[in-house]
Amino acid sequence: MRSEEIIGSLERKYLLDLLSKRNRMDGRGFFESRPIEIIPNVIKKAEGSAMVKWGDTIVLAGVKTSIGAPFPDTPNDGVITVNAEMSPISSPTQESGPPGPDAIELARVVDRGIRESNVIPIKDPKICIIPGKWVWVIFVDVYILDDGGNLFDSSSLAAMAALANTKINKIEIDDENGEVSLLEEKEYLPRNGTVSSLTYVKINENILYDPNLLEDRGKEARFSLAIKDNGMICSMQKGESGVFSEKEISQIIEHSIPQAKKIHQLIEEASKKDLLHEMFE
pLDDT in tens, 178-199: 788 889 999 999 999 999 999 9
| pLDDT of res. 2 | 43
Q: In what order do the strands lie in the sheet with 135-146?
A: 36-40, 48-54, 57-68, 135-146, 79-86
Which CATH homologous superfamily contains domain 3-279?
GHMP Kinase, N-terminal domain (3.30.230.70)
The DSSP output letter for 150 is: -
Residues with Cβ within 8 Å of 113's Cβ and at least 6 positions away in sequence, in order, are 156, 195, 197, 226, 234, 235
The pLDDT score that the predictor gives to residue 93 is: 78
Q: What does the alpha-carbon distance between residue 218 and residue 14 come to, in Å, rounded to a whole number? A: 10
Q: Taking a C-beta distance cutoff of 8 angstroms, is the pair 60, 38 a contact? A: no
pLDDT at 188: 95
pLDDT of residue 274: 60
Q: Which of 34, 30, 129, 38 is nearest to 79 (CA)?
A: 129
Q: Which stretches in the chain have pLDDT values below 70?
A: 1-7, 274-281
pLDDT of residue 1: 39
Rounded to two decimals, the pTM is 0.92
